[in-house]
Structure 1
Amino acid sequence: MANNNDSFGKTLGVVVGLCLVCSLVVSSAAVALKPLQEKNKAQDTQKYVLEAAGLTDKINGDVAAVYNQYIEAKALDLDSGKFDDSIDVTSYDPRKAARDAATSIVPADDIASIKRRANQVLVYLVKDESGQIDRIILPVHGYGLWSTMYAFLALDTDLNTVKSMVYYDFSDQGETPGLGGEVQNPKWKALWPGKKLFDDQGNLKLRVTKMATNPDYDIDALSGATLTSNGVQNTLAYWLGSEGYGPFLENARKGGVL
């Protein structure tokens, strides 16, 4: 019996030891790889910003170099609609800020189902070869069919004419390919450039609809993906409203932003 107990104890000791060693290896690898993971994540975001900026043709292997040449990230306080230069844009994470009650709000009318909205977001100023602002990229997100969908809405300097709409991330399980995932279909993305957001009275007129009859404002809904199409519409309604970029757009119309 003693021999059996000794054998069991030794086996248990070996198992525990192996578990500790494996945990140490995994933890060390995670720590060592974190900087690389963060770099890849940042580069991936930069790549989609450049796509929204219409600058993918300038990428020749060095995404960061093209991004740094043409893109300026700015922290925007959504309540005031003004830039906040006190925030370090290289380290600020709006998604993290949205999870903190001290740096976010619960939307009064959460039509886009975002749950919380960060007080400050990052917007991107796109500059041409001479350094003049060519377009402004506004990050937006909202719930689609199965998940929260993140996109970059690029506008002309009039802040009313759409230059592009680029969906780049689906949190959680993601949208179903062929349904919600169709927001990444090049044919659908090609429908956005040139559309207008607001009418002359400042009312949101752009629609994602099955009855696209107005060439200035209407985007054809995604075939077979009604809930995702509704999600895109709700996303625009929230982020272009008073709790989103509304104050920023109003300041811009008065000439007080750019």
Structure 2
Amino acid sequence: MATKKFKCKVCGYVHEGDKAPDVCPICAAPASEFEEIKPEKKGLDRDSNVYTVVYAAVMVVLVAVLLAFTSQSLRSYQQKNEENDKRQQILRSINIVVSSNEAEAKYNDLIKEAFLVNENGEKVEGDAFAADVVKAASEHKYPVFVANVDGQTKYIMALHGAGLWGPLWGYISVDGDKNTVYGADFSHQGETPGLGAEIAKPAFSGEFKGKKLFMDGTFKSIAVVKPGKSVAGQDYVDGISGGTITSKGVDAMLFNSLSGYVKFLTSQN
């Protein structure tokens, strides 16, 4: 059985056999004028629906694998950034402002102790830094960070609440008397720039310094009121002009969050 095909370059005659004929039977051209016809390699029709589906499926899988690999590779960096952001917030509540690169070292230098307390002010098991504040509060556990600032003890407590467009959170610190506010820091997710978002600015958080959480031995928290208003028998700060709902959110956040710390704050430990 013939295994190869040879074509005469002079007349186009096609010969089948193991080799080209000595002479073309049509035009008498010699064997040197023949060339072997190579069989065409069949491939996938790029215009077919099958090719399109297979190509799309392969690309989706490749992209998914690449994204998963990238996400996994960057996760450790993302987590470190998140942790440093939390450290920066905690430090801002004791009036220390540092860059992300400096946060870990400064935090380790100033924060001498971190623990969770229950509603009775007793220490309970758990990681105060890693704790999800909202989840911990639902379990009646509250993070406490103890700082040493210029030889003075400061107690830092975590806050969480709701604003106009999303969650609010922050930290507030008190002096060794567990009553006088030393500093505060507030953050938000999605509050209106120039209005409610102003709670994240030092101009607002700075108003809390020196305010009292207790009046005549009774927990009062600190009220956030409309500018020009006041509250009898309770320390207060001016809210954000044009950010009434966010200001009310901060007011409620302070009272609700700090209520869980009352027995800790009134304890002698």
TM range (shorter): 0.7 to 0.9
Instruction: Specify the SS of the correspondent of 2:224.
Output: strand
Q: Deviation per CA, 1:16-45, whole angstroms, max 9, x where unpaired?
A: 000000000000111111111000100111
Q: How does 1:226-237 map to 2 (within 5 A)?
A: 226-237=244-255
Q: Could you tell me how far apart the structure 2 residues matched to 1:162 and 1:55 are?
A: 15
Larger relative contact order (Cα-Cα within 8 Å, sequence gap ≥ 6): 1
Q: Could you tell me how far apart the structure 1 residues matched to 2:186 and 2:122 are?
A: 25
Q: How does 1:178-257 map to 2 (within 5 A)?
A: 178-204=194-220, 206-210=222-226, 211-212=229-230, 217-241=235-259, 244-251=260-267, 255=268, 257=269
Q: Could you tell me how far apart the structure 2 residues matched to 1:21 and 1:46 are?
A: 37
**What is the count of residue pairs matched by the alignment?**
224
Please provide the CA RMSD for this pair.
Answer: 2.6
1:53/1:154 contact within 8 Å kept: yes
- 2:114 paired residue number: 74
**TM-score, normalization by structure 2:** 0.74
Q: Could you tell me how far apart the structure 2 residues matched to 1:45 and 1:60 are?
A: 10
**TM-score, normalization by structure 1:** 0.77
Q: How does 1:121-160 map to 2 (within 5 A)?
A: 121-128=142-149, 133-160=152-179
Q: Could you tell me how far apart the structure 1 residues matched to 2:236 and 2:46 are?
A: 77
Q: Could you tell me how far apart the structure 1 residues matched to 2:110 and 2:88 are?
A: 12
Moved over 6 A (4+): 3-6, 213-216
Shift of 1:189: 2.0
Instruction: Specify the SS of the correspondent of 2:219.
Output: coil
Can you give the 5+ residue segments of structure 1 that lack an aligned partner in the other structure? 99-103, 105-115
- 2:79 paired residue number: 38
1:140/1:235 contact within 8 Å kept: yes
Greater C-alpha radius of gyration: 2
Q: Deviation per CA, 1:160-204, whole angstroms, max 9, x where unpaired?
A: 111112013x24xx1111121010222222211111111013130
Q: Could you tell me how far apart the structure 2 residues matched to 1:83 and 1:213 are?
A: 34
Report percent identity of matched pairs.
26
2:142/2:261 contact within 8 Å kept: no
Is 1:94 matched with 2:132? yes
Can you give the 5+ residue segments of structure 2 that lack an aligned partner in the other structure? 1-43
